[in-house]
Amino acid sequence: MNPLENIESLAYFAPEILLVIFAAAVIILDLLVKNRESEKVAYLALVGLGCSLVAILITNSILGTNESKNLFFGMIRLDGFAVFFKVLLLLATAATILFSLRSEELDVRLKGEYYALLLAVTFGMFLMASATNLLMIFIALETVSLTSYILAGFLTHSPRSSEAAFKYITYGAVASGTMLFGLSLIFGMAGTGDLATIGQQLPALLGSGEVTALGVLIAITFILAGIGYKIASVPFHMWSPDVYEGAPIPITAFLSVASKAAGFALFLRFFFSGFGNSEVMQSIDLGLLLAVVSALTMTIGNLAALPQQNVKRLLAYSSIAHGGYLLMGAVLLTNGNAAIVDKGIGAIIFYLIVYFFMNLGAFYVVVLIANEAGSEMIDGYRGLSSRAPLVAGAMAIFLFSLTGIPFLAGFFGKWVLFAAVIEGKLYWLAFVGLLNSVVSLYYYARIVKAMYFETAEDTDRLSFSKGTFALLSVFVVPTIFIGLLNIFYSLSERITLQ
**DSSP three-state, residue 498:** coil
Q: How far is the CB of 375 from other proteins (least distance, A)?
A: 16
Q: How far is the CB of 168 from other proteins (least distance, A)?
A: 9
Q: How far is the CB of 192 from other proteins (least distance, A)?
A: 7
Residue (73 or 452) nearer to other proteins, CB: 73
**Whose CA is closest to 363, among 103, 89, 46, 39?**
103
> Which parts of this chain interact with other proteins (CB under 8 A)?
134-135, 138-139, 142, 146, 149-150, 153, 156, 158-160, 162-167, 169-170, 173-174, 177-178, 180-181, 183-185, 187-189, 191-193, 241-242, 245-246, 307-310, 313
Contacts of 110 (CB under 8 A, 6+ apart): 154, 156
Rounded distance between C-alpha atoms, residue 151 and residue 161, angstroms: 9
Q: How far is the CB of 160 from other proteins (least distance, A)?
A: 6
Q: How far is the CB of 471 from other proteins (least distance, A)?
A: 29
Residue (48 or 241) nearer to other proteins, CB: 241
The residues that bridge with 374 in the sheet, in sequence order, are none
Residue (156 or 490) nearer to other proteins, CB: 156
Residue (205 or 333) nearer to other proteins, CB: 205
Residue (310 or 375) nearer to other proteins, CB: 310
Residue (196 or 394) nearer to other proteins, CB: 196
Q: How far is the CB of 485 from other proteins (least distance, A)?
A: 39
Q: How far is the CB of 322 from other proteins (least distance, A)?
A: 20
Phi-psi map region of 71: left, alpha, beta (phi>0 left; psi -120 to 50 alpha):
beta
Contacts of 361 (CB under 8 A, 6+ apart): 394, 397, 398, 472, 475, 476, 479
Q: Are 102 and 371 in contact (CB under 8 A)?
A: yes
What is the residue type of 402? L
Alpha helices in 191-331 (DSSP H): 195-208, 213-230, 239-246, 249-254, 260-269, 275, 278-284, 286-305, 311-331
Q: How far is the CB of 63 from other proteins (least distance, A)?
A: 28
Q: How far is the CB of 162 from other proteins (least distance, A)?
A: 4
Residue (181 or 452) nearer to other proteins, CB: 181
Residue 483 burial (C-beta neighbours within 10 Å; 0-12, 13-18, 19+): buried
What single-letter DSSP state applies at residue 66?
A: T
Residue 178's CB is within 10 A of a number of other CB atoms, namely 18
Radius of gyration of the chain (CA): 22
Q: How far is the CB of 134 from other proteins (least distance, A)?
A: 7
Residue 257's CB is within 10 A of a number of other CB atoms, namely 27
Residue (15 or 241) nearer to other proteins, CB: 241
**DSSP three-state, residue 337:** coil
Residue 438's CB is within 10 A of a number of other CB atoms, namely 11
Give the Å distances, CA to CA, from 214 to 236, 289, 387: 22, 13, 60
Rounded distance between C-alpha atoms, residue 175 and residue 243, angstroms: 15
Residue (366 or 429) nearer to other proteins, CB: 366
Rounded distance between C-alpha atoms, residue 140 and residue 147, angstroms: 11
Residue (9 or 59) nearer to other proteins, CB: 9
Residue 407: is the preceding peptide bond cis (ω within 30°)?
yes
Give the Å distances, CA to CA, from 33 to 27, 29, 41, 114: 10, 6, 8, 15
Residue (56 or 180) nearer to other proteins, CB: 180
Q: How far is the CB of 483 from other proteins (least distance, A)?
A: 34
Q: How far is the CB of 285 from other proteins (least distance, A)?
A: 24
**Whose CA is closest to 134, among 83, 61, 192, 213?**
192
**Whose CA is closest to 126, among 190, 52, 191?**
52
Residue (247 or 268) nearer to other proteins, CB: 247
The residues that bridge with 476 in the sheet, in sequence order, are none
